[in-house]
Structure 1
């Protein structure tokens, strides 16, 4: 079955069976006056609800905490929804070295540990890096392409990125899940 056109007449269940780019989801929301904010999962849920019964899911607007005091110390408390700036990056680089980055595991740790201090964050950073090295970085659900490509290369040593992309394009055109399967490589023959 060819991927159906994303419009208001699409069945909500059928919509979930196909892959759509985030840009396509945003365009749908614009076309039908739905909120365009949020990540791919939030947009997908909003569109599915709209297609199901015409209702609009409310957006989750997170209130960002603005750091008024721009000087930091090891005792600075991590606030909920804190937005990290270049000044924060410079502070952490002071203690963690020039290779410091706000990588995903560290960002997640900061988000889950409001109330702790920057010292706690500095102590946690090398532990998080070590876990990331041993286990590989986890890929969040909305990054289906990245997950697919990683699984492709784990199963196909020596294949090219071009091969992986051909398989991905084939897979996302099909109805159903977008997880890598060995049979996807048939498209390379």
Structure 2
């Protein structure tokens, strides 16, 4: 199924039949003068709204605080108030809270911190972020669909049967194109390989 140019697509249902990379969604949104940042899910929602006649425009840049005046971090400290980053100061704070050293921020914490800053949510605290770490709270989930291609290639290369190709990455890309332009699940399986192995040589 060949994907048409975006301008020729009539509605959101037709748009959803095709696979789009996040970078492509960003370009589409920019070309329409719409909000063009966020996860694939957020960008898809902007395009869905566009097809419904609603325009989600880019947000005005928020004035950034120059430097945090918060000296001591506590669980009640606001994430925005303390100028939260993923640097050492906050890594050490969470290491103390969890007893985990070295402490690593998980993907949902990263997605949440980004969303809190974008929303300007001054009520969200470091304690709330700790709840995200323990899975006791949800604020923003990491968009795992962005990893579909990477997972597809990894699974393709781990299948010994794909060693028949001299350039496995090129073969994986050809098979991915078949999957991307179809309504199939965007995952690699050995059955998929068997079905298309002759056409992607």
Given the two structures, how large is their TM-score scaled by the length of structure 2?
0.59
Give the whole-Å Cα distance in 2 for the aligned partners of 1:178 and 1:5. Answer: 22
Give the deviation of 1:84 after TM superposition.
3.0
Aligned length: 169
Partner of 1:184: 192
Q: Counterpart of 2:104 in 1: which secondary structure? A: coil
Whether the aligned pair in 2 keeps the contact of 1:65 and 1:81 (CA below 8 Å) is no
User: Structure 2: 5+ residue runs without aligned partners?
Assistant: 117-123, 136-141
Whether the aligned pair in 2 keeps the contact of 1:3 and 1:173 (CA below 8 Å) is yes
Give the whole-Å Cα distance in 2 for the aligned partners of 1:105 and 1:23. Answer: 21
Structure 1, residues 6-58: CA drift from partner, whole Å, max 9, x if none?
22x312211111011111111112222112122211111212332x2443136
Residues 1:148 and 1:181: Cα distance change in structure 2 (over 3 Å): closer
Given the two structures, how large is their TM-score scaled by the length of structure 1?
0.62
Residues 1:105 and 1:48: Cα distance change in structure 2 (over 3 Å): closer
Give the whole-Å Cα distance in 2 for the aligned partners of 1:16 and 1:64. Answer: 36
Give the deviation of 1:105 after TM superposition.
4.7
Give the deviation of 1:76 after TM superposition.
3.5
Give the whole-Å Cα distance in 1 for the aligned partners of 2:70 and 2:146. Answer: 33
Q: Identify the structure with bigger relative contact order (alpha carbons < 8 Å, sequence gap 6+).
A: 1
